[in-house]
Structures are given as C-alpha cells and as structure tokens.
Amino acid sequence: MAKRHLAALTVCAGLVLSVAGCGGGAEARRATEQEVGDIVTIATAEITHVFKGDPADVRSVEVRQLGGELDGEKLTALDEVKLDQDKSYLLFLHAWEDAGDHTMLSPEQGQYVATGPDGRAATSAKAGDTYTPLPGNGLQVTRAALDELAKTD
C-alpha cells in the first residue's frame, strides 16, 4: 500500500448532507493511486464552523470511513460508527494531501453529535450548542475548550 502523507488536523462543525458507499477497487485506485480492496463509506458534510484548521480551505469535506455496502457485498468495521445524513457533528479530522480526503482522528473520539440549545440537531456552530460523545468515549468537549483550541497554533 502506498504511503499517505498527513496534511493537517481540522476540527470543524458541520451538517452531513449525504452518505454513500464506495468500492476500494479500481475506482479508489484511480482516485488515490493505491492498491486498496476495502469497501468504504463516504459522508459529505457542509462545514458551518472551523475551530482548528484553515477556514478558507474548508467549505465541505468528504469523510472516509471503513465499512459499508456496495453491490450486495458488505464490510463491517466493528469500531466505526457511521455518520448519519441530516445530522450535525463536531468532527476531528485528518486531512490527507495525497488523496484529498479526510478520516476521523479515531473512530470513537473523532465525532461528537452536535445539538442546539433547543435539543434539536445543530445546523451551525453557536455558543449554546452541546457536543455529545459516542458511547465508550469518556472525553467531553465544551464550546469554551473549542474556543481555546482555536487560539492555538
């Protein structure tokens, strides 16, 4: 497998617009020039706020997650929790310069469900939003901590 080069760490809030399965066969090899045989799920998220990273570069992101279904074939990645369409998240992402895609920092700690003050899915990052970790992730994230992260280099 070809070596991947990490370009940046991005922390952003966004609304998942679409989720689709993708083969890791010939199509992925053309896109990434790698010998990959896995089935992946690609979630496209519209970014509403960037806490860390270059906001000019991030309007939407494609997040690649291992596992999914393609042409009747299914691959299950036990530690991956798929992003849901029309749901808002706080995402901790690696950006890969050689493939132009993003992956979560880790399956458990890379995504938090974003909820607005009214208890519904947050559609933009506002001061009253809360971020709920996945089960098994004991790390809590607050808006104040995100604002402090935004101040660091």
Rounded-to-integer distance, Cα 88 and Cα 79, Å = 20
CA dihedral (4, 60, 63, 53) in degrees, to 10, reads 50
Tokens 């370009």 found at: 7
User: Is residue 85 over pLDDT 60?
Assistant: yes
Mean pLDDT value across residues 77-96:
85
Q: Strand, helix or coil at 139?
A: coil
pLDDT for the residue numbered 58: 63
pLDDT for the residue numbered 95: 77
pLDDT for the residue numbered 123: 66
User: Is residue 30 over pLDDT 80?
Assistant: no
Could you give phi then psi for residue 104, rounded to 5 degrees? -70, 150
Task: Please name each of the domains of the chain with its CATH number.
Answer: 6-151 (2.40.50)
- Amino acid making up residue 90: L
Higher pLDDT, 37 or 79: 79
Higher pLDDT, 21 or 55: 21
pLDDT tens-digit readout, 35-74: 346 788 888 888 888 888 876 666 788 888 888 877 787 8
Closest CA to 32 of 64, 60, 55: 64
Per-residue pLDDT band for 111 (boundaries 50, 70, 90) equals very high
DSSP designation for 56: G
Higher pLDDT, 3 or 31: 3
User: Is residue 134 over pLDDT 80?
Assistant: yes
Higher pLDDT, 34 or 109: 109
Copy the structure tokens of residue 20: 């689709």
